[in-house]
C-alpha cells in the first residue's frame, strides 16, 4: 500500500494504544520505516540526471531490505531505544511493522497483472520463502483507496478528539496549527448544520 495509508493506519493504532506523545510517534514511525528501502528510487532518478550511471536500487532493494525479519528487528531495536514504555512500544512496533507487510502483501501491485510485489521474509539474506498473492490489489486500486479513506476519516475524528494529529509524528508546532484549523472547520460546520431554535 502507499506510504500515506501505512502512516495513517499506524498513527491510528499508535494513538489508541500509547499514552504519551513520544511513544505514539515511535509506533507511528514503525508503520512507514520499512519503505525506507525504496528510497533508492531517488538515486535511480537523480544519477543519470546528474551525469552518473543508471542504477536500479529501487528494484534491487525495495521490499527486500527492510520488509522481513531483519527489518523488523532493526526497526524495533532502533525505535525502542527512544521509548518511554519500552516493552509496550516493542510489541506495538512489531505489530505495526507486520501489519505493513500484510498490507503490502495484499495491496501493492503495479499497473500490469504480472507486476506483483512479493514479501521475502528472510530478505536481504535469502529469497526463500517468497510470499506472493496473485490477486494482489493494484496500488491505485479502489480497495486501497477505500482503506485509505477509512483510516483518513478515522484519524481526523481522533485528531479532533485528542488535540493532536498525524502531523505531530514529524513536527509538533505544525501539528498544533493543523489541529487548530480542523477544530475551526468543525465549529464552522457544526454552526451551519445546527438547527435553528423554533420561533414562537
**With respect to Zn ion, which residue has the nearer C-beta, 6 or 25?**
6
**With respect to Zn ion, which residue has the nearer C-beta, 23 or 35?**
35
Strand-pair category, 119-120 with 130-131: antiparallel
How far, in Å, CA of 33 to CA of 74, rounded? 10
Query: Residue 23 in contact with residue 82, Cβ under 8 Å?
Result: no
**With respect to Zn ion, which residue has the nearer C-beta, 35 or 164?**
35
The binder of Zn ion chosen from 35, 164, 166, 175 (CB under 5 A): 35
Is 77 exposed, middle or buried (CB count within 10 Å of its CB: 0-12, 13-18, 19+)? exposed
Q: Does 164 bind Zn ion (CB under 5 A)?
A: no
**CB of residue 81 vs Zn ion: minimum separation in angstroms?**
23
Query: Residue 165 in contact with residue 12, Cβ under 8 Å?
Result: no
From the list 26-34, 123-131, 132-140, 159-167, the region that binds Zn ion by CB under 5 A is 26-34
CA torsion 140-143-144-150 (nearest 10°) is: 140
Shortest-Cβ-distance residue relative to Zn ion = 104
**CB of residue 89 vs Zn ion: minimum separation in angstroms?**
20
How far, in Å, CA of 59 to CA of 107, rounded? 17
- Interacting residues with Zn ion between 100 and 129 (CB under 5 A): 104
Q: Does 23 bind Zn ion (CB under 5 A)?
A: no
Site residues for Zn ion per CB under 5 A: 34-35, 104
Amino acid at each position: 500500500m502507499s506510504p500515506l495509508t501505512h502512516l495513517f493506519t499506524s498513527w491510528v493504532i499508535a494513538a489508541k494504544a500509547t499514552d504519551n506523545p513520544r511513544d505514539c510517534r515511535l509506533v507511528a514511525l514503525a508503520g512507514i520505516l520499512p519503505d525506507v528501502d525504496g528510497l533508492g528510487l531517488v538515486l535511480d532518478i537523480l544519477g543519470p540526471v546528474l551525469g552518473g550511471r543508471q542504477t536500479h536500487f529501487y528494484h534491487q532493494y525495495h521490499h527486500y531490505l527492510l520488509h522481513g525479519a531483519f527489518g523488523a528487528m532493526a526497526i524495533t531495536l532502533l525505535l525502542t531505544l527512544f521509548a518511554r514504555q519500552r516493552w509496550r512500544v516493542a510489541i506495538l512496533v512489531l505489530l505495526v511493522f507486520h501489519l505493513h507487510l500484510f498490507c503490502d502483501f495484499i495491496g501493492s501491485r503495479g499497473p500490469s497483472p504480472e507486476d506483483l510485489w512479493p514479501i521475502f521474509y528472510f530478505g536481504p539474506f535469502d529469497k526463500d520463502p517468497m510470499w506472493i498473492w496473485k490477486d494482489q490489489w493494484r496500488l491505485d486500486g479502489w480497495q486501497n483507496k477505500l482503506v485509505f479513506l477509512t483510516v483518513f476519516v478515522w484519524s481526523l475524528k481522533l485528531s479532533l478528539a485528542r488535540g493532536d494529529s498525524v502531523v505531530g509524528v514529524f513536527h509538533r508546532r505544525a501539528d498544533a496549527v493543523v489541529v487548530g484549523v480542523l477544530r475551526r472547520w468543525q465549529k464552522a460546520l457544526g454552526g451551519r448544520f445546527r438547527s435553528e431554535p423554533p420561533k414562537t
